[in-house]
Amino acid sequence: MLVLDLALKSLRNRAFSTSLTVGSIALSFALLIGVENVRVGMRESFSNTISQTDLIVGTKGGTIQLLLYSVFGMGAPTENVSWEAYREWAEHPAVEWTIPYSLGDSHRGFRVVGTNEDFYRHYRYRGGQEIALAEGRPNADLFDVTLGADVAAELNYALGDEVSVTHGLGELGFITHDHMPFTVVGILDKTFTPVDRAIYVTLEGMEAIHWEDGAPPASDDEHDHAHDEEAEAAHDEDDHAHDEDDDDGHDEDDHAHDDEAEAAPADDGHAHDQEVEAAAADDGHAHAEDISIEDVEISQVTSFFVGTTDRRDVLQLQRDINDFEDEPMMAVLPGVALNEMWQGLGYAETGLRLVAIFVVLVGLLGMLVSLYTSLNERRREMAILRAVGAGPNRILALLVLESVCLAGAGALAGLALVYGLLAAGQSIVEAQVGLFIPIRPPGPIELLLLGAVVTAGFLMGFVPAFKAYRTALHDGLAVRV
């Protein structure tokens, strides 16, 4: 107790150097804990992107690829799954629910996702949270769209705004489907998952996007392979428009259509609508706005999520889907796939952690230097302590204890700093980078790191302590400088 009292008073006496040392350890430890928190936050937000989904099913291909395009909205599927095959699995007795997705289009850089009401009913993220609407209603009609929170915020869209959709995935896709009068009917709550960065339409709406001339095709055969023939079809359409168009007033519009890739969508869209109207009337096609959702036939989906009635059936179901003979299909366990993907990113984690550990070591080395250099001016103090009966062991203990106190105080201050920063900056980080870092009481990792730093402080304390020990033994009561 005496030695602890001495250590604390001695540290307090050197308040300036003590606070500098504690401060540097605190900062370095805060970095370590901060990295750990960010890592956990990243991992959690990553593996909680979806939850309660038992299987993700798509066409045969890479596991990670399937995960990327169906969960993270990255990359493109190579093939789709036919509607018939999807329905077959959706009605499988082991399957409780499915969420079908039709992907491949974008609007001003955001994904357009075709899905149905099952998405609102069954999609879960971050431990079972449901998709909720910030405003409006879920998209249900053919030309309804619901926006992810980020889409609405970044593109500054409000309910009732009209949206044009691009086929393809670029900022400006190959063909702008301006003639589709999509209207924003709902905006989703922020989820901090890729859901925020997507635009939701009905599966039927997604099909409609792929009608080349803004109206349902006369014959279905032509459009089963809409994707493959898109480019050609577009050319046809242009030619067609030229032929039909006798009115001078529409010349400009035609030009605009030719240069679609650069054209501003809004104005063009309106003009195109008129053109389409004319074309449709001449061709005997139905007008886009006259089509009801019931008239649209869905030909395919890109992938679908599956929830099973009984989780014990998952593996069997996965095998069955993988062995499906009618179409090449693949089912993956999202947990396993996410884990696999995270492993691939793991080296970045390790790198971050290593850097943080080295920074803490530097902080502790700073402490060691500070203690060591203070020893010379403390020789008198050591001699006095020796004279009043302190053994060299007590001198050793005093310095080790000072070191432990510095490391401990630094670590605790660092921990406090992290919580302070988290409390102050959590929402900012969330808003800026979409990373939700949970604030929770110090867990085993924090305690482990705290223990490690204090232990390191303890061990490092022996360096100045041994020096003091030797000095104390050698100097005795004299102070030789």
CA distance linking residue 165 with residue 182, whole number of Å: 8
Which residue, 9 or 311, has its beta carbon nearer to another protein?
Answer: 9
Nearest to residue 330, comparing CAs of 306, 307, 299? 306
CA distance 261 to 264: 9
User: Contacting another protein (CB under 8 A), which of 165, 208, 296, 383?
Assistant: 383
CA angle 204, 205, 210 (to 5 degrees): 100
Nearest one of 194, 212, 176, 184 to 48, comparing CA atoms: 194
187 in Cβ contact with 159 (< 8 Å): yes
Q: Which residues contact 317 (CB under 8 A, 6 or more apart)?
A: 54, 55, 92, 94, 95, 306, 308, 331
By CB neighbour count within 10 A (0-12 exposed, 13-18 middle, 19+ buried), where does 174 fall?
middle
φ, ψ of residue 302 in degrees (nearest 5)? -90, -45
- Part in contact with another protein (CB under 8 A); list of ranges 39-47, 346-354, 444-452, 470-478: 470-478
Stretch that binds another protein, among 59-67, 177-185, 354-362, 389-397 (CB under 8 A): 389-397
DSSP states of 30-90: HHHHHHHHHHHHHHHHHHTSS-S--EEEEESS-HHHHHHHHHS--S--S--EEHHHHHHHH
Among 34, 269, 392, 461, contact with another protein (rule: CB under 8 A): 392
Cβ 2 to another protein, closest distance in Å?
Answer: 5
Site for another protein in 168-187 (CB under 8 A): none
- Does residue 381 touch another protein according to CB under 8 A? yes
Strands (E) located in 189-314? 198-202, 300-301, 303-308
With CB under 8 A as the contact rule, the residue among 242, 287, 380, 470 that binds another protein is 380
User: Any contact of residue 22 with another protein (CB under 8 A)?
Assistant: no
Q: Of 316, 270, 307, 326, nearest to 82 (Cα)?
A: 326
Torsion of CA 74, 130, 112, 334, to 10 degrees: 30
Stretch that binds another protein, among 347-355, 365-373, 387-395, 420-428 (CB under 8 A): 387-395
As measured in angstroms, the least distance from the Cβ of 376 to another protein is 14
Pairing of strands 110-115, 198-202: parallel
Establish if 481 lies at the interface with another protein (CB under 8 A). Answer: no
List the one residue from 344, 391, 438, 451 that touches another protein (CB under 8 A): 391
Query: In the stretch 331-370, what mask flags binding to another protein with x, by CB under 8 A?
Result: ----------------------------------------
184 backbone dihedrals φ, ψ, rounded to 5°: -75, 120
Stretch that binds another protein, among 4-12, 59-67, 80-88, 192-200 (CB under 8 A): 4-12
Nearer to another protein, 179 or 394 (CB): 394
**Which range of residues in 151-159, 238-246, 334-342, 382-390 is near another protein by CB under 8 A?**
382-390
> Nearest distance from residue 472's CB to another protein, in Å?
9
Q: What minimum distance in Å lies between the beta carbon of 375 and another protein?
A: 15
Question: Is residue 373 a contact residue for another protein (CB under 8 A)?
Answer: no
Which one of 3-11, 39-47, 137-145, 251-259 is the stretch in contact with another protein (CB under 8 A)?
3-11
Q: Please report which helix (H) or strand (E) contains residue 337, including its range.
A: helix 334-377
Please, what is the minimum distance in Å from the beta carbon of residue 4 to another protein?
12
Provide the minimum distance between the beta carbon of 390 and another protein in the complex, in angstroms, as a whole number. 6
Tell the smallest beta-carbon distance from residue 474 to another protein (Å): 8
For the stretch 100-129, what's the b/e string if a residue is b when 16 or more beta carbons lie within 10 angstroms of its beta carbon?
A: bbbbbbbbbebbbbbbbebbbebbbbbeee
How many residues sit close enough to another protein to count as binding (CB under 8 A)?
24
* Chosen residue from 134, 355, 362, 387 binding another protein by CB under 8 A: 387
Among 16, 311, 388, 432, binds another protein (CB under 8 A): 388
Minimum Å distance from CB 401 to another protein?
A: 14
Task: Return residues touching another protein (CB under 8 A).
Answer: 2, 6, 9-10, 12-14, 380-381, 383-393, 474, 476-478
